Amino acid sequence: MRSKLPNVGTTIFTVMSTMAQDHGAINLSQGFPDFDCPARLRELVAQYLHDKKNQYPPMTGIASLRAAIAAKVKDLYGFEADMDQEITVTSGATEAIFDAIHASVSAGEEVIVFDPAYDCYDPAITLAGGKTVHIPLSLPDFAIDWERLQAAINQNTRMIIINTPHNPSGAVLSSEDLDILAQLTRDTDILLLSDEVYEHMVFDGQQHESVLRHEELRQRSFAIFSFGKTYHATGWKLAYCVAPATMTAEFRKVHQFVTFTSTSFIQYAIADFMQECPQHAKSLSQFYQEKRDTFNHLLSQSRFQYTPSRGTYFQLVDYSQISNLTDFEFAKYLTKEKGVAAIPLSPFYKEAPNSTLIRLCFCKDDSTLQAAATILCSL
């Protein structure tokens, strides 16, 4: 059979998590917590599961959840989204990203992504018949090279994908960054896809700058968010997209034939939890900053070098004082021989630099971080 994705294999997250399981390693590779979601949220899920909320919910998401999303967006970003025409619940952020790309990109059109880029972007663009244009972020701070972006924009550019807070680097975009992006795309038909699944994990007193807060950019943006990341429940695969009504209408045409709708009783539970416990999301940055600081303190006695992550629940570390292996070989060595699984940075690039960086996930119990750090400090 002819492959439509001949250059795509198993994702690095699955590869490293499988390797961790096979070798009994502490898994700091794939981004999921090893602690449970809030007890009250689990109670609500059980309540609605046993309350016969097991049939198809509306394709766009249940009304109470979309209303809760609209209230949250207004509270955090000052934007009054129309719950009926501008908010769609999806089966995870990966689905929302796929839907946005396929609703917008036609054969031969170009989509700009910034490397290191999350691995679901390029395949979705390829399947839509588009061409992915990769622009490397500037090191060491993983900033957008605005001159390079300006040079890449042309009449075939259909979309630019941004990711803030950024996976895998933890970098965050500022309001000034969004102003520059608005200037570069002004008077064009270029759409934006803003991957903001780590919106509640921004550290050191910074504010998450959503495109929804930027009046000019939100008029051309698909903004995508994740309940799984926010509520420590990545396996539930529930997310949502906020976009202008005309863009949402096209988005939903794709969504209805990809998953049609998403798990009913989880939607009801999250809708209630958002209203009962808004402090959970608002306190998440502090919660994860404490995790980051704990992990970094534990690593301070190691030979790894690092700059504290500015967002997400990932920390990049440089192993150049420890080994001259490639990042993938070092990640395999670390997993198989030392018992800690990490993610190499090179799979996030089309043309990977000679990097000595690996990504470690700190959304773990302190005991897990302590055990992992003990091994890492022994290298």
**CATH code for position 120:** 3.40.640.10
Please say which residue of 250, 276, 302 terminates a domain: 276
Question: In angstroms, what CA-CA distances link 138 with 38, 143, 147, 364?
Answer: 38, 5, 11, 29
Q: How do residues 61-102 score in pLDDT, each as one tens digit?
A: 999 999 999 999 999 999 999 999 999 999 999 999 999 999
Mean pLDDT of all residues in 264-287:
97
How many Cα atoms are found within 13 Å in the side-chain-facing hemisphere of 268?
A: 18
Together in a domain, 90 and 135: yes
Together in a domain, 57 and 111: yes
Mean pLDDT of all residues in 237-247:
98
Q: How do residues 41-54 score in pLDDT, each as one tens digit?
A: 999 999 999 998 99
Together in a domain, 47 and 172: yes
Together in a domain, 264 and 326: no
Residue 20 has pLDDT above 90, yes or no: no
237 domain-assigned: yes
Closest CA to 341 of 18, 37, 6, 11: 18
Residue 291 has pLDDT above 90, yes or no: yes
190 domain-assigned: yes
The distance in angstroms from the start CA to the end CA of the chain is: 46
Together in a domain, 28 and 56: no
Together in a domain, 26 and 123: no
Together in a domain, 70 and 214: yes
Total domain count, the chain = 2
Percent of the chain topping pLDDT 90: 93
1 domain-assigned: no
For position 9, what pLDDT does the model report?
80
For position 295, what pLDDT does the model report?
98
Together in a domain, 181 and 68: yes
Kindly give the residue spans of alpha helices, DSSP state H, lying in 171-283: 175-185, 215-218, 227-230, 245-258, 264-276, 278-282
Q: Is residue 12 very low, low, confident or very high in pLDDT (cuts 50, 70, 90)?
A: confident
372 domain-assigned: yes
Residue 296 has pLDDT above 90, yes or no: yes
Mean pLDDT of all residues in 295-302:
97
Copy the structure tokens of residue 222: 């698909």
CB atoms within 10 A of CB 189: 10
Mean pLDDT of all residues in 173-184:
98
Please say which residue of 276, 297, 323 terminates a domain: 276
C-alpha 82/C-alpha 87 separation (Å) is 7
Question: In angstroms, what CA-CA distances link 97 with 104, 142, 224, 289?
Answer: 11, 22, 7, 27
What is this structure's pTM? 0.96
Together in a domain, 258 and 356: no
158 domain-assigned: yes
Q: What are phi and psi of 247, to 5 degrees?
A: -75, -40
6 domain-assigned: no
263 domain-assigned: yes
Residue 294 has pLDDT above 90, yes or no: yes
Q: How do residues 27-41 score in pLDDT, each as one tens digit?
A: 999 888 999 999 999
Residue 352 has pLDDT above 90, yes or no: no
Q: Is residue 13 very low, low, confident or very high in pLDDT (cuts 50, 70, 90)?
A: confident
Please say which residue of 225, 257, 276 terminates a domain: 276
Together in a domain, 205 and 311: no
Considering the chain, what is the average pLDDT of its residues? 96
Domain range for 95: 39-276
Residue 215 has pLDDT above 90, yes or no: yes
Together in a domain, 17 and 102: no
Together in a domain, 49 and 193: yes
Copy the structure tokens of residue 229: 């990341």
**CATH code for position 304:** 3.90.1150.10
For position 16, what pLDDT does the model report?
83
326 domain-assigned: yes
Give, as one character, the DSSP assignment of residue 166.
P
Residue 176 has pLDDT above 90, yes or no: yes
Measured in residues, the chain has a length of 379
Residue 340 has pLDDT above 90, yes or no: yes
